[in-house]
Chain A
Amino acid sequence: MSATSINILIGGEAGQGLVTIGQLMAKALVRGGYHVLVNQDYMSRVRGGHNFFAIRTGPEPIHCATEDVDILVAMNEETIEKHRKQLTERSIVVAGESMDTSDLNNVLKVPFKELASKELFHNVVALGVLGSAICSDISILENLLSQTFAKKGQEIVDANLDVLRKSYDWVKEQDYDFACIPPASDDGVERVMMNGNEAIAMGALAAGANFLSFYPMTPSTSVALTLIGKGAPLGLRAEQMEDEIAAVNMALGASWAGARPVVTTSGGGFALMVEGISLAGITETPLVMILVQRPGPATGLPTRTEQGDLNLALYAGHGEFPRAIFAPGSADDCFELTHRAFDLTERYQTPMYVLSDQYLADAYTAIEPFDLNGLPEVAGPVLEPENAKEYKRYALGESCVSPRAIPGFSEALVKVDSDEHDEHGHIVEDAENRVAQNSKRLCKGCELWEETIPPSYYGEDEPDMLFVCWGSSVGPCLEAMEAFDGKAAVLHFRQVFPLKEDQFMPYLEKAGTVVSVEGNATGQFARLLRQETGFEISSFILRFDGRPLTSRYILAGLESIR
Chain B
Amino acid sequence: MTTADDYGKFETAWCPGCGNAGILKSLKKALAEMDIPPHKLGMVSGIGQAAKTPQYMNCNMFNGLHGRSLPAGQGAKLANPELTVIVESGDGCSYGEGGNHFLAAVRRNVDITLLAHDNQIYGLTKGQASPTTAQGQKTKAQPFGAPSDPFNPVMVATAMQAGFVARAFSGDMEHLTEMIKLAVQHKGFSMVDILQPCVSFNKVNTFKWYKDRCYRLEDHDPTDWAAAMEKASEFGDSIPIGVIWKSDKPVFGEGNPAMDGEPLATRKYDKADLEKIIQSFA
Instruction: Please report A residues at the B interface, Cβ cutoff 8 Å.
Output: 30-31, 190-194, 198, 202, 205-206, 208, 210-211, 213, 230, 232-239, 241-243, 245-247, 249-261, 275-276, 279, 283, 369-370, 372-373, 380-381, 383, 406-419, 425-427
Interface residues of B in 241-268 (CB under 8 A from A): 253, 257-260, 262-268
Q: List B contacts of A205 (CB < 8 A).
A: 269, 274, 277
A257 x B259 contact (CB < 8 A): no
A250-B74 CB under 8 A given contacts A192-B281, A408-B39, A408-B42: yes
Q: How far is the CB of A393 from chain B (nearest CB, A)?
A: 9
Q: How far is the CB of B252 from chain A (nearest CB, A)?
A: 8
Interface assignment of B80: CB less than 8 Å from any CB of chain A? yes
Q: Residues 74-91 of chain B: 1 if any A CB is under 8 Å from the residue's CB, otherwise 0? A: 111111101100000000
Pairs across A and B, CB under 8 Å, 11 listed = A205-B269, A232-B257, A234-B269, A253-B62, A254-B264, A259-B80, A261-B79, A279-B64, A408-B39, A408-B263, A413-B38
A253 x B44 contact (CB < 8 A): yes
Pick the contact of A190: B60, B268, B282 (CB < 8 A). B282
B259 x A237 contact (CB < 8 A): yes
A233-B83 CB under 8 A given contacts A192-B281, A253-B62, A411-B39: no
A211 CA to B259 CA, complexed, in Å = 11
Q: How far is the CB of A364 from chain B (nearest CB, A)?
A: 9
A260 CA to B274 CA, complexed, in Å = 16
A234-B273 CB under 8 A given contacts A210-B267, A254-B75, A427-B52: yes
Q: How far is the CB of A201 from chain B (nearest CB, A)?
A: 10
B75 x A242 contact (CB < 8 A): no
Interface assignment of B22: CB less than 8 Å from any CB of chain A? no
B75 x A213 contact (CB < 8 A): yes
Q: List A contacts of B270 (CB < 8 A).
A: 234
Instruction: Please report B residues at the A interface, Cβ cutoff 8 Å.
Output: 38-40, 42, 44, 47, 52, 54-55, 58-65, 68, 70-80, 82-83, 100-101, 103-104, 108, 253, 257-260, 262-271, 273-275, 277-282
A205 CA to B77 CA, complexed, in Å = 21
Most chain A beta carbons < 10 A, residue from B62, B75, B100, B270: B75
A246 x B68 contact (CB < 8 A): yes
A257 x B75 contact (CB < 8 A): yes
A239 x B61 contact (CB < 8 A): no
A236 CA to B259 CA, complexed, in Å = 8
A427 CA to B263 CA, complexed, in Å = 29
A534 CA to B63 CA, complexed, in Å = 41
A252 CA to B263 CA, complexed, in Å = 15
A410-B68 CB under 8 A given contacts A192-B279, A369-B278: no
A249 x B72 contact (CB < 8 A): yes
Instruction: Look across to chain B and name the residue whose beta carbon is closest to the beta carbon of A410.
Output: B39
A293 CA to B38 CA, complexed, in Å = 43
A414 x B60 contact (CB < 8 A): yes
B72 x A260 contact (CB < 8 A): no
Q: How far is the CB of A363 from chain B (nearest CB, A)?
A: 14
A233 CA to B267 CA, complexed, in Å = 12
B101 x A253 contact (CB < 8 A): no
Q: List A contacts of B83 (CB < 8 A).
A: 257, 407-408
B263 x A373 contact (CB < 8 A): no
A258 x B39 contact (CB < 8 A): no
A246 x B71 contact (CB < 8 A): yes
Instruction: Look across to chain A and name the residue whose beta carbon is closest to the beta carbon of B262.
Output: A235
A415 x B68 contact (CB < 8 A): no
Q: List B contacts of A257 (CB < 8 A).
A: 42, 75-77, 79-80, 83, 263-265
Q: List A contacts of B282 (CB < 8 A).
A: 30-31, 190-193
**8 shortest A-B CB distances, which residue pairs?**
A258-B265, A253-B75, A253-B72, A254-B75, A407-B60, A259-B79, A250-B75, A242-B104
B71 x A253 contact (CB < 8 A): yes
Q: List A contacts of B260 (CB < 8 A).
A: 235
Q: How far is the CB of B181 from chain A (nearest CB, A)?
A: 20
Instruction: Look across to chain B and name the residue whose beta carbon is closest to the beta carbon of A210.
Output: B264
Q: How far is the CB of A123 from chain B (nearest CB, A)?
A: 21
Q: List A contacts of B39 (CB < 8 A).
A: 407-408, 410-413
Q: How far is the CB of A225 from chain B (nearest CB, A)?
A: 14
Instruction: Look across to chain A and name the residue whose beta carbon is closest to the beta carbon of B67.
Output: A245
A416 x B62 contact (CB < 8 A): yes
Q: List B contacts of A206 (CB < 8 A).
A: 274
Q: List A contacts of B78 (CB < 8 A).
A: 211, 237, 239, 250, 254, 259
